[in-house]
Amino acid sequence: MIRQFNFQTEAIDWLINTSLNPSSKQTVVLKAPTGSGKTIMLIQYIEQYLSNYDTNTAFIWLCPGKGDLEEQSYNKMRELYSSRQTNDLFDALQNGFEAGSVSFINWERVTKKGNKAITDGEKKNLYERIKQAHNHNVNFIIIVDEEHSNNTAKARDIIDAFSASHIIRVSATTVANRDVEYKEIDEQDVIDEGLITKAISVNEDIEDGIAQDDAILLELADKKRKQIIEHYNNIGKVIRPLVLIQFPNGSPEKIEAVESKLEDMGYTRKNKTVAAWLSGDKGDIPENLTDNNSQLDFLFIKQAINTGWDCPRAKILVKLREGGDEAFQVQTIGRIRRMPEAHHYEDSVLDMCYVYTFDQEYKTGLLTGLDKAYIPKRLFLKEKCRDLVLTKELRDMDGGTADDRQVYHAVRNRFINEYSLDNDKELNMKKLAGRGYKFGDELFGSIVGGVFTTIDSLPESARNIETRTPVDTHEHGMQLRHTFDEFKNVLGVEARTLRRIFDKLFSIKFQNNSQKLLRLPLREYYAFVINNSHLIKEELRVIASEVTVQNRLLMPKTEEFRLPLEELYHFDPVERDHSVFESSAYKDYTAGYVTSACGKSDSEIMFEQYCEEHKQDIDWVYKNGDSGQQYLSLVYMAGISDRQKLFYPDYILRKKDGTVWIIEAKGGQRGNQDNNIDPQVLNKFIRLKAYAEAFKLHWGFVRNMNHKLYINNSEYVDDMHNDSWKPLNEVL
């Protein structure tokens, strides 16, 4: 008999009742904290459902590719219920989907491009087997394990093919919405049952003023590991805590440095105390890795271990970063939250898990952007919108290079004019310091520390720890390169070009250069660029916003553009207004697609509402995408660089009289405050004007002021009180 905790029994009963209720919604969402026994709950739900309620159903268990989760779930099902017909993908393709069976399928095997599982071949492919089951009246219920991991159009195609009575989505980081049946297992209930640690300790023993040196994190982690062993020994337990060391992607140098430090501490791959679970590097992982008495002390990981891996002796996470700020992910923390014997020891050291990191940002989940605030839904183009053909422009990747001297003078002049700098280097330093610039040979930073009971309490309960790290030009060279990469993205100039320019202006290099603004020694120069990167980027944004003469533009490449036959739009699941926008180019486009939760600005929301209110004159309106080759794009030149950039106008609309309009919506104005945040607005205005004139289209930039929309298609000015901005209803 498998032991069930109260919260597990309640979740299983809820899943069964929801599955049997004919009026329940198709999508069923269970939010289950990592460590709550999600796999066991799902297996028991399936077995009870098939044994007691419906023998004519086949379950499809879809898992992400990382961590071999489908094999673990498959093996656990066979271990607990060996008489139940259990399939992997090969079995399903060979024999089909029979009533009463459970098929475990790895997402990547059916969504990866060119995969034989969903192409024609000698065997019946996946879609044919699904159709065969439907012909035999087999009902499907789909379980989407770690449901955040494959939220793609192709994945939804496969789910749609099953025509399942219910789709059960399970993850530690899913969200509720109006279109689903939703249940959340309280993390505190899981803690109270002793399945996961009572709390999470972050950066214990790290004090203000510490240097951000990875070696310190490793030493603290090992000190804590030894303390945990001592406490286990005191209660007669043979349990060896495991330290997970998580690396950023693409960091072979950092891996080598960590291995060298661990070797100095006495831990190596040779003596079997260190192993790696990295891409192409798993050969030294012992078979007893997850056993409580395993001798492995440190395991290197990246992202693959975020899902589907259970090692309850793992108690410490060292999360390293490289360059910019990265973020915790709740699944990664979940790897160290399980209790090794599924109960608490009433020992403050053993009932805690530990995190050491110099990350400055903490997330409470993997879902960001579209998954947190809204969900993607597929809509289909109306027949009447399929005849529109426009010309879209693509960048000529062989054209456009920046003039280094022009960039150099632009940067120098910006600093001189903004901060009143001259040839007095010491006075220049004082002027910059007076405007917030930091000087010295230390890198200033801050990290988070504290003890947190639940994942959700991480952001609210944190204490801030200030750090001061002496510059090491070798150690921090990568961080400096990362900073110049950020500058490159702002200005559109190669990072190495910007590095030379900043060297000439601010460092002790090139001593004969009389035009220097500062003469900082190398370590101080590193600190100046890194510590003040946010201020420097603001100056570069100003430079980038300077208007380019757009007729310098090389002839862009062009292609035919048609509205996509189907589109994934962001949908706000909690929007109460379900009225259909008949003016939309897509069927079933409702008010739920026109909210701020979907990422739309006030001007965009007001414009779409305007089109719906004037649908007697407007035949249809299409919301263009922000990036991607399937959308309408124009090429323009950005700032002082001859680098070509793409501009995606927000809307295309056709009026009942047949005229076609291209509309760009920008931030509006409140009083005298300009809320437009796009520094390239003038360049884009000039480019759209030239494009519309060339192809004889109507056009305009639309902004809101005092709850009214205004349009400008003549000469761009920021101030909307200018006569160039006319009421939209007088022009459109």
pLDDT tens, residue by residue, 227-272 = 999 999 999 999 999 999 988 765 678 888 899 999 999 999 999 9
In whole angstroms, how far apart are CA 119 and each of 112, 115, 125?
11, 7, 6
Strand locations in 634-696 (E): 634-637, 644-647, 651-655, 660-665, 669-670, 673-674
Q: What are phi and psi of 14, to 5 degrees?
A: -65, -40
DSSP state of 384: G
The model's pLDDT over 299-337, given as tens digits with 9 standing for 90+, comes to 998 754 544 467 889 999 998 875 444 444 555 677 888
| Residue 115, pLDDT score | 59
| Residue 400, pLDDT score | 47
The model's pLDDT over 163-176, given as tens digits with 9 standing for 90+, comes to 999 999 887 666 55
| Residue 329, pLDDT score | 54
Q: Whose structure tokens read 């989407």? A: 144
Which carries the bigger pLDDT value, residue 174 or residue 506?
A: 506
In whole angstroms, how far apart are CA 575 and each of 173, 439, 585?
21, 50, 21
The model's pLDDT over 70-124, given as tens digits with 9 standing for 90+, comes to 677 888 899 899 899 999 888 888 889 999 999 998 876 666 655 555 555 544 5
Q: Name the residue among 480, 488, 481, 494 with its Cα closest to residue 530.
A: 480
Query: Across residues 608-613, what is the average pLDDT?
Result: 95
CA–CA distance, 603 with 591 (Å, rounded to integer): 15
Poorest-confidence range of 120-124, 156-160, 523-527, 658-662? Answer: 120-124
Choose the most confident range, by mean pLDDT, from 156-160, 394-398, 406-410, 460-464: 406-410
| Residue 621, pLDDT score | 97
Which carries the bigger pLDDT value, residue 360 or residue 129?
A: 129
Residue 455 pLDDT exceeds 80? no
Residue 514 pLDDT exceeds 60? yes
CB 581 within 8 A of CB 588: no
DSSP state of 404: H
DSSP state of 183: E
* Helix, strand, coil in percent for the chain, rounding step 5: 35, 20, 45
Q: For the sheet containing 274-277, what is the strand order? A: 274-277, 298-301, 242-246, 314-319, 352-357, 199-202, 442-452, 463-470
| Residue 243, pLDDT score | 95
Q: What is the residue type of 57?
A: T
Residue 517 pLDDT exceeds 90? yes
The model's pLDDT over 587-598, given as tens digits with 9 standing for 90+, comes to 989 998 998 877
- Taking the mean position of all CA atoms in its chain, how far away is CA 680? 25
Q: If DSSP codes are grouped into helix, strand and coil, which group holds residue 620?
A: strand
Residue 441 pLDDT exceeds 70? yes
CB 147 within 8 A of CB 366: no
- Residues 6 or more apart in contact with residue 453 via CB below 8 angstroms: 188, 191, 198, 199, 200
Q: Which tokens go with 678?
A: 């796009």
Poorest-confidence range of 91-105, 184-198, 257-271, 389-403? Answer: 389-403
| Residue 67, pLDDT score | 46
pLDDT band of 375, cuts 50, 70, 90 = low
Q: Name the residue among 335, 344, 283, 286 with its Cα closest to residue 314.
A: 335
DSSP state of 457: G
Helices 477-491, 533-544: axis angle to 10 degrees equals 20
CA–CA distance, 520 with 522 (Å, rounded to integer): 6
Q: Which tokens go with 11?
A: 């979740």
List, in sequence order, every residue forming a beta bridge with 242; answer none if it has no partner: 314
CB 638 within 8 A of CB 679: no
The model's pLDDT over 273-301, given as tens digits with 9 standing for 90+, comes to 999 887 656 667 888 888 999 999 999 98
| Residue 639, pLDDT score | 57
| Residue 361, pLDDT score | 53
| Residue 362, pLDDT score | 43
Q: Whose structure tokens read 């056993």? A: 291
Q: Whose structure tokens read 């009463």? A: 100
- Residues 6 or more apart in contact with residue 353 via CB below 8 angstroms: 197, 199, 200, 201, 315, 316, 317, 333, 336, 337
In whole angstroms, how far apart are CA 706 and each of 85, 671, 672, 720?
65, 8, 11, 11
Element (H, E) at 166: strand 166-171
The model's pLDDT over 619-676, given as tens digits with 9 standing for 90+, comes to 999 999 887 778 999 988 765 555 677 889 999 999 999 999 999 999 888 888 888 8
Q: If DSSP codes are grouped into helix, strand and coil, which group holds residue 673?
A: strand
CB 276 within 8 A of CB 244: no
Q: What are phi and psi of 636, to 5 degrees?
A: -140, 165
Q: Whose structure tokens read 């891409």? A: 279
Residue 488 pLDDT exceeds 70? yes
Q: Name the residue among 616, 625, 713 with its Cα closest to residue 661.
A: 713
Half-sphere exposure of 149 (CA within 13 A, CB side): 25
Give the domains, in start order, of the chain with CATH numbers.
6-192 (3.40.50.10810), 199-357 (3.40.50), 371-397+554-731 (3.40.1350), 404-445+469-544 (no CATH)
List, in sequence order, every residue forming a beta bridge with 466; answer none if it has no partner: 446
Q: What is the residue type of 4?
A: Q
CB 93 within 8 A of CB 126: yes
| Residue 320, pLDDT score | 86
CB 703 within 8 A of CB 603: yes
CA–CA distance, 298 with 265 (Å, rounded to integer): 12
Q: Which tokens go with 205?
A: 């023993």
CA–CA distance, 411 with 503 (Å, rounded to integer): 12
Residue 613 pLDDT exceeds 90? yes
**Mean pLDDT, rounded, of the chain:** 83
Q: If DSSP codes are grouped into helix, strand and coil, which group holds residue 224?
A: helix
Q: Name the residue among 353, 253, 308 with its Cα closest to residue 66.
A: 308
| Residue 304, pLDDT score | 46
CB 364 within 8 A of CB 448: no
Give me the percent of the chain exceeding a pLDDT of 70.
82
| Residue 551, pLDDT score | 41
List, in sequence order, every residue forming a beta bridge with 361; answer none if it has no partner: 327
Q: Whose structure tokens read 């214990």? A: 204
| Residue 283, pLDDT score | 67
Query: Across residues 178-189, what is the average pLDDT?
Result: 85
The model's pLDDT over 561-573, given as tens digits with 9 standing for 90+, comes to 999 988 878 777 6
Q: What are phi and psi of 128, to 5 degrees?
A: -65, -40
| Residue 371, pLDDT score | 33
Query: Across residues 210-236, what is the average pLDDT?
Result: 93
pLDDT band of 363, cuts 50, 70, 90 = very low
| Residue 458, pLDDT score | 52
CA–CA distance, 287 with 29 (Å, rounded to integer): 35
| Residue 546, pLDDT score | 63
| Residue 51, pLDDT score | 94
CA–CA distance, 93 with 669 (Å, rounded to integer): 60
The model's pLDDT over 663-710, given as tens digits with 9 standing for 90+, comes to 999 988 888 888 888 878 888 898 899 999 999 999 999 999 998 999
CA–CA distance, 30 with 171 (Å, rounded to integer): 7
Element (H, E) at 567: strand 566-571
